[in-house]
Amino acid sequence: MIADIVRSRAFGQNALLLLVLLLVPAVAGRFYVYILAVIFVTGLLAMSLNLLVGHGGAYQFHHAAFYGVGAYTAALILVKTSLPAWVAFCAGPIAAAVTGLIVGAICVRLNKLYYGMLQISLGSLIWIVVLRWYSLTNGDDGIHGIPMPEFLSSATGIYYFVLGVVAVCLALMYLILKSPFGATLRAIRDNPQRCEAVGINVRRHQLLGVVVATFFAGVAGVLFVVLEGSVFPDMLFWVLSLEILIMCLLGGWFTFYGPMLGAAIMVALRTFVGSYTDYWTLVLGIVLILLIFFLPEGLMSINLRERIRQRGRRASMKAAE
């Protein structure tokens, strides 16, 4: 099986991409290395959401709550205890997945939009607890200056750590999507009623999907702590959940890398347009409107190879005339 993967063309392309990304710190300035790391972390979060939204067809409306739980868990362990850093890094995703299990177990009883609304309520509940529990979380001030292990003290060290973890997570997600579990998840997206009729316990399957997705959201949360050295309640606010939904839409629901591309566009817009005007969301709005009209399945739905082939065919037809 591993031999198969290594031989495939997709593997070659990804290996090449990884190699290029490994070389970035050697040529690019600190700022761009940092922005790239922000894109990876946000992209991982969006891709974990897309496991449920694009592939699972679930109305996962408050995914950021689990991102925040992962980040806060890691941050609190690093600040309040003397446990080694790797414990904090592992505890983040596990705490997010456990929260996902609890919230998911309540939500999967409901369908579609009701699932989404209930999740927004429960997620907001977590947000308000984090915001108000001053003695533990420092409330809306957040937690800053979180101590990091030695190898994460330089910008390059952080970049490589983030890149490595994100690459491993993406590989795992890819395997999961190619597995029978992933196939069944897409079948549930297409037709939950039919799935019931072939003996699939739809709710249990969706719950497992939520646990997997929230685990990866927790990983993204931990990486945010590594990158920024701080956490704040806005990480759990519903606005961020909406933003990552937009990233999935922007890049392409039904593709693997789509949400990562969407994250890159959002981060770039915020950073570069945002440096000229506070109203950068205006540009985002226009981009979104155009996209919904012309590319409803996202940017990744532009099939370049197909376009080139069509152009070639047209040219050869003209030549024949």
Partner 1 sequence: MLRVENLRKSFDDFKAVDGANLAVDRGELVAVIGPNGAGKTTLFNLITGHLKPDQGRITFNGVEISRLPAHAICRKGIARSFQIANIFPRLTVFRNVQVSVLSQRHLSHTLFRPAHRMVVEETERILESVGLIDKKRSVAGALSHGDKRTLEIAIALGNEPELLILDEPTAGMSPEETAATMGLVTRLAREQGLTILFCEHDMDVVFNVATRIMVMQQGRTIIQAEPEEVRRNVTVQEAYLGGPEDA
Residues making contact with partner 1 (CB under 8 A): 1, 4, 172, 175-176, 178-184, 186-187, 189-191, 193-202, 205, 208, 212, 254
Residue 182 or 251 having the CB closest to partner 1: 182
**Cα 230 to Cα 71, 144, 177, 240, distances in angstroms:** 9, 4, 32, 17
| Minimum separation from the CB atom of position 187 to partner 1 (A) | 4
| Minimum separation from the CB atom of position 208 to partner 1 (A) | 7
Number of Cβ atoms within 10 Å of the Cβ of 210: 28
| Minimum separation from the CB atom of position 254 to partner 1 (A) | 8
Per-residue b or e along 3-39, where b marks 16 or more CB atoms closer than 10 Å to that residue's CB: eeeeeeeeeeebeeeeeebeeebeeeeeeebbbbbbb
Tell me the CA end-to-end span of the chain in Å, nearest whole number: 49
| Minimum separation from the CB atom of position 259 to partner 1 (A) | 18
| Minimum separation from the CB atom of position 201 to partner 1 (A) | 5
| Minimum separation from the CB atom of position 52 to partner 1 (A) | 15
| Cα atoms in the 13 Å half-sphere on the side-chain side of 77 | 19
Residue 181 or 238 having the CB closest to partner 1: 181
Residue 6 or 175 having the CB closest to partner 1: 175
| Three-state secondary structure of 199-211 | CCCHHHHHHHHHH
**Residue 265, C-beta contacts closer than 8 angstroms, at least 6 positions apart:** 247, 250, 251, 287, 299
Residue 119 or 184 having the CB closest to partner 1: 184
Q: CB of 155 within 8 A of CB of 30? A: yes
Residue 194 or 311 having the CB closest to partner 1: 194
Per-residue b or e along 168-206, where b marks 16 or more CB atoms closer than 10 Å to that residue's CB: ebbeebbebbeeeebebbebbbeebeebeeeeeebbebb
Residue 179 or 310 having the CB closest to partner 1: 179
Q: Locate 101 and state its tokens.
A: 């299990």
Residue 155 or 187 having the CB closest to partner 1: 187
| Minimum separation from the CB atom of position 196 to partner 1 (A) | 4
